[in-house]
Amino acid sequence: MGDALTNEDWFARARRVIPGGVDSPVRSFAAVGGTPYTVVRGEGPYVWDAEGRRYVDLVQSYGAVILGHGHRAVTAALSEAIVAGTTFGAPTPGEVLLAEALTAAVAGCEQVRLVSSGTEAAMSALRVARGYTGRDRIVKFDGCYHGHADALLAGGGSGLSTLGLPGSAGVPAAAVAHTLVVPYNVVPELDDQVACVVVEPVAANMGLVPPAPGFLQGLRRACDEAGALLVFDEVITGFRVGSGGASAAYDVTPDLWCFGKVIGGGLPMGAFGGRRDVLAVLAPTGPVYQAGTLSGNPLATAAGRAVLEHLAPGDYLALAERAARFALRLADAIGGAGLPVRVPVLGPLVGLFLSEHEVTDYASARVAVSEGRYPAFFSAMLERGVALAPGPYEVLFPGLAHSDEVLDTVVDVAAEAAAAAASALTGRGRP
Ligand SMILES: *Cc1c(COP(=O)(O)O)cnc(C)c1O
């Protein structure tokens, strides 16, 4: 039945019953134009759409997948777990084992509580920080994404430090009245009203923007001096830049961590954790309420554990080497075809700005993106069987299933796609 429907058919049906046709806005292709492909299957580095077309998938569920789609380790663990029941609302061994794996891997993270998304993890970490310090103010960085909790959906004004403006309709000014938004890569001044500073230690939601030398260390020092907590949102970097995440990679230990994506093995999962004395404020031992019917879900913990057990230290090194080689070759291919390009890379994370503008924060990322080349390049890649994220602020997620051969194919396709995009853009007077 489904086989006969085209992507267009599915999207038309979706739009009737799902707002905008999608369950998360970026999937709608609003930023790049055209009709989203409806995925019916994935395997390793590939996905197939409703029309039977295969794409090299560099989205990988925005980083939730690291072993590739449908990996045996995950499907076997899920098959085993599912016959024992899917949720109980009682403690399970699986959540203990996953919490043990997370705390063993991340130095300084003594305890974790499991939730069902990165949004929940960040929202809960904030509440803990406020409950622990007795302070209301939070500091976030412009262009960092921490999910869609009200207090974190705040935008900054033109690169200046500003008290947050609601970043979305439906967020009352009061909900962001205690949120200070400051530019990334600059250590802000903190006072004794600040409960916490929350940061993506490697920013990967404004394209890829690595931390400037000393930035994370500076945040640690500023927080210590102000008596504020430092929160690392490692929803992307956790178990991707290495088993110890960015905190180990940069040797900066926050007070609280947020995890998500990789740790759920492709199932809905998040976690927040940190120092034991900080987390003691959580109910039932302390006064900060936080809860979840499906938290620590047995399927999600089984999938997450399978991924973490499968990842060996050598895998992270191999992935970083592959990504570094890929980034260089991708930049050459795109630049060689006449499109301005920067391909930042950090460990396994690869960014893509179709601009020569240097990007160090959200203001400069916006300038690079405003040059407007991404949609044409994205479409040219998709036509040729490579799926990038349908938005210019996302990063590429080559994973362990993306062999050098697969990535070489992407590079070849990118050379052609860049040439096609360059001529299309020149035709519109915008090379
Ligand atoms: C994806 C993401 C989130 C939100 O996670 P969801 O599971 O989508 O709610 C939070 N922080 C960062 C850094 C993310 O990349």
162 is in which domain, residue-wise?
72-310
* 117 shares its domain with 156: yes
Ligand 1 pocket: which residues have CB below 6 Å? 117-119, 122, 145-147, 200, 205, 233, 235-236, 260, 270
In a domain, 107, yes or no: yes
Separation of 64 CA from ligand 1 center, angstroms?
10
Do 67 and 55 touch, CB atoms closer than 8 A? no
Q: Say how far residue 27 (Cα) sits from the centre of its chain.
A: 14
User: Mean pLDDT, to the nearest integer, of 404-429?
Assistant: 94
Give residues with Cβ within 8 angstroms of 204, minimum separation 6: 63, 236, 237, 349, 351, 395
According to the model, what pLDDT value does residue 2 have?
Answer: 47
* pLDDT digits 0-9 by tens, 104-139: 999 999 999 999 999 999 999 999 999 999 999 999
* 235 shares its domain with 342: no
CATH assignment of the domain containing 216 = 3.40.640.10
Q: Is residue 261 among the annotated active site residues?
A: yes
**Domains in the chain: how many in total?**
2
* 332 shares its domain with 396: yes
According to the model, what pLDDT value does residue 421 have?
Answer: 97
* 305 shares its domain with 327: no
* 304 shares its domain with 317: no
Backbone dihedral angles phi then psi of residue 31, each to the nearest 5 degrees: -85, -15
Separation of 121 CA from ligand 1 center, angstroms?
9
SS3 55: strand
User: Mean pLDDT, to the nearest integer, of 358-382?
Assistant: 97
Last residue of a domain, one of 310, 333, 348: 310
* 287 shares its domain with 338: no
Which residue has the least CA distance to atom 11 on ligand 1?
Answer: 146
According to the model, what pLDDT value does residue 391 have?
Answer: 96
Nearest to 62 by CA among 349, 324, 370: 349
pLDDT at 431 over 90: no
Integer Cα distance of 231 and 35 in angstroms: 38
* 221 shares its domain with 168: yes
For the chain, the average pLDDT equals: 95
* 202 shares its domain with 154: yes
In a domain, 1, yes or no: no
